[in-house]
């Protein structure tokens, strides 16, 4: 891949609290080799085109966005679950109906389109919380990791990086109820057999890595939590877990174990600096202390949490406890990391009736470098020498962003304002179009193939 020079009208550099005008970014292959803010003195005289070989990036150029929490197949539910009352648990029944219809081929088609939609929105890396492991009857495919292979291939087609968070899912409740119905395809029997299957899957493609996940304290018995945590720590890979998404989960955990889900995870060694708790919508003060002291991160998914009526997590209190925050689109009610980022601030305003909880720079970090770190790609998410060459350029002249100063883009721009995306030095999106995937057509066809009639 040749050396490329990019001339950004504005670029958000890690050492600054707001965007910097006129930045020359040089890349060689998948790495950024130089970043040079151009001052008036470093610009050539009028009429001298020393930057003629630089690719212009009009607008605001950001580091690649990281979508830390994804269930790709949930995209098939968008707009189909709003016909009546209900809660997370009634929505889950609809989700299981889609899960029951997927196989490696249909999952590849759907995930390819979903990941390409993410690329259009400026996402350069996704964490797939993957528990669709087996056939609908619970039996293994000839290749026990065929569904994971489909996701790795889908991300390659879409042009983004993937951390496949291979998820241990063994029981239907904290009390150990067995898996039934569509849930049967999620389970490996016990954590040791989960580890055996997960260990056998080692993608050789440079765009994909494997991490681990505990689905939740509802789905992994307490005496098997340590097996998953030990597997992840031995391999030095990310470990993720759904945590306190619903008050019912907290209540059931207290009834069975006499403690909160966070305390149970801490007791069994799940928390730690390589662990990310997803949601953490209903933590106690003690839970926040445990998360902060263990340096466990939290991935907030505001658009899903509001779509499912989950509640609002205490984001500012988390940050004050030293918890690293990242963002995910989860069920893909929308795929828009700008919306997720500003929702962190706006939800705090609703809770407190006060404004100004997070700076734009803090929200940018959650959407970029913190997210990549949570997915095991600590060398991404910054426009800096040596970092991965991920560049996301946003229009500043659309109906949404016209007249908005660059620093305000996170409170004005949306996914549709992304005009160019570079992933590891390769252009994936140009002029707002994915270069290899017809995203609307492929979404329509792949969703129709798996949606119950």
**How many other C-beta atoms are found inside a 10 Å radius of the C-beta of residue 346?**
17
* Pairing state between β 3-11 and 20-28: antiparallel
* Tally of CA atoms within 13 A in the half-sphere of 115 that contains its CB: 29
Q: For the chain, which residues make up each domain, given as ranges?
A: 4-62+382-434, 65-375
Distances (CA, A) of 327 to 73, 276, 344, 401: 18, 11, 9, 22
**How many other C-beta atoms are found inside a 10 Å radius of the C-beta of residue 312?**
18
Digit-by-digit pLDDT tens for the chain (453 residues) are 567 999 999 999 998 999 999 999 999 999 999 999 997 555 555 544 557 789 999 999 999 999 999 999 999 999 877 666 656 656 777 888 889 899 999 999 999 999 999 999 999 999 999 999 999 999 999 999 999 999 999 999 999 999 999 999 999 999 999 999 999 999 999 999 999 999 999 999 999 999 999 999 999 999 999 999 999 999 999 999 999 999 999 999 999 999 999 999 999 999 999 999 999 999 999 999 999 999 999 999 999 999 888 899 999 999 999 999 999 999 999 999 999 999 999 999 999 999 999 999 999 999 999 999 999 999 999 999 999 999 999 999 999 999 999 999 888 999 999 999 999 999 999 999 999 999 999 999 999 999 876
Annotated catalytic residue 105: no
pLDDT at 92: 73
pLDDT at 52: 76
Looking at 69, 134, 268, 279, which residue is catalytic? 279
Looking at 310, 330, 347, 390, which residue is catalytic? 330
Residue 300: both structure tokens together:
């907030």
pLDDT at 43: 58
> With left for phi above 0 and alpha for psi between -120 and 50, is residue 28 left, alpha or beta?
beta
Annotated catalytic residue 279: yes
Q: Which CATH architecture has domain 4-62+382-434?
A: Roll (2.30)
Q: Which CATH architecture has domain 65-375?
A: Alpha-Beta Barrel (3.20)
Strand order across the 20-28 sheet? 31-37, 20-28, 3-11, 55-63, 391-394, 418-423, 426-430, 433-434
């Amino acid at each position: 891949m040749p050396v490329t020079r990019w001339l950004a009208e504005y670029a958000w550099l890690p050492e600054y609290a707001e965007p910097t005008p006129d930045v020359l970014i040089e890349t060689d292959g998948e790495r950024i080799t130089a970043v040079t803010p151009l001052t008036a003195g470093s610009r050539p005289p009028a009429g001298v085109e020393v930057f003629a070989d630089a690719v212009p990036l009009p607008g605001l150029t950001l580091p690649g966005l990281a979508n830390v929490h994804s269930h790709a197949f949930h995209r098939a539910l968008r707009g189909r679950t709003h016909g009546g009352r209900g809660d997370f648990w009634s929505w889950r029944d609809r989700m299981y109906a889609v899960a029951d219809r997927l196989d490696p081929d249909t999952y590849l088609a759907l995930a390819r389109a979903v990941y390409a939609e993410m690329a259009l929105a400026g996402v350069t890396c996704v964490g797939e919380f993957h528990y669709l492991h087996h056939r609908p009857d619970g039996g293994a495919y000839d290749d026990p990791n065929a569904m994971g292979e489909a996701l790795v291939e889908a991300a390659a087609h879409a042009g983004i990086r993937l951390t496949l968070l291979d998820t241990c899912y063994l029981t239907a409740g904290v009390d150990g109820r067995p898996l039934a119905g569509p849930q049967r395809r999620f389970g490996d029997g016990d954590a040791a057999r989960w580890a055996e299957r997960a260990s056998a899957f080692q993608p050789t493609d440079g765009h994909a890595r494997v991490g681990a996940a505990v689905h939740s304290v509802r789905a992994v018995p307490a005496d098997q939590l340590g097996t998953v945590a030990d597997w992840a720590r031995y391999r030095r890979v990310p470990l993720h877990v759904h945590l306190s998404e619903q008050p019912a989960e907290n209540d059931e955990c207290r009834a069975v174990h006499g403690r909160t889900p966070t305390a149970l995870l801490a007791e069994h060694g799940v928390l730690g600096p390589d662990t990310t708790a997803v949601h953490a919508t209903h933590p106690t003060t003690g839970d926040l202390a445990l998360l902060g002291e263990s340096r466990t991160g939290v991935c907030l998914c505001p658009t899903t949490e509001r779509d499912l009526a989950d509640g609002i997590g205490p984001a500012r209190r988390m940050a004050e406890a030293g918890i690293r925050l990242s963002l995910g689109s989860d069920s893909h009610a929308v795929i828009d990391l700008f919306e997720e980022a500003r929702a962190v601030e706006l939800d705090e305003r609703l809770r407190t009736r006060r404004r100004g909880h997070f700076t734009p720079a803090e929200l940018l970090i959650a959407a970029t470098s913190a997210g990549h770190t949570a997915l095991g790609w600590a060398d991404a998410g910054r426009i800096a020498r040596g970092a991965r060459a991920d560049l996301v350029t946003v229009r500043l002249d659309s109906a949404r962003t016209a007249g908005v100063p660059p620093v305000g883009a996170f409170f004005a721009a949306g996914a549709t304002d992304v005009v160019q995306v570079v992933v590891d030095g390769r252009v994936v999106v140009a002029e707002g179009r994915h270069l290899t995937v017809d995203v609307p057509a492929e979404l329509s066809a792949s969703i129709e193939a798996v949606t119950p009639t």
